[in-house]
A = this chain, B = another copy of it.
């Protein structure tokens, strides 16, 4: 009966920690209840469902990454900004693999998700301010940056780079250098 003080926010934060410890898809309402020393059904006053819990963790993770990203691009431009923002994603994924997996969770386009998604686009757009790109090149470049950041980090975290050298950490700065070169020589006119 002792009241534990559950709230949606505390459950979400604890769920995120749990995700980092045991993996996002091992996070369950049951496991979370166990962690709080509380009956499973009690959580359903605070989260609507297992899906709701997972969605909240996803939005939390996306928000945390966006916060770090904003901090990283502030006062930086061009190549420095590119490297800083890229580092945010990679470091976050390595520090918080469960949360990073959560950020991939397919959350229905309701409010929070779309808005935090836009924050991430804006971060890439801010980096591109240092490279003069018109439209549609700018949007294309935003998507390329997002693809490389997410793709590289996913593959590395998934172990795809484990069975060859150099290490993922060695390639990373050179890949970013290459991206920097590309952004400075973006083909605005049809190259064919």
Contacts and interface: CB of A to CB of B under 8 A. Distances in A.
**Contact-residue bracket for chain A:** 35 or more
Contacts of A147: 147-148, 150-152, 155, 175
A151 B180 CA distance: 18
B139 A164 contact: yes
- Interface of A, secondary structure class, is helix
The oligomer's copy count stands at 2
A118 interface: yes
Nearest to A171: B140
Contacts of A137: 174
10 contacts: A109-B159, A114-B163, A117-B163, A139-B164, A139-B171, A140-B171, A143-B171, A146-B160, A151-B152, A178-B187
Interface of A: 25, 104, 106, 109, 114, 117-118, 121, 136-137, 139-141, 143-144, 146-152, 154-155, 158-166, 168, 170-171, 174-175, 177-182, 185-187, 190-191
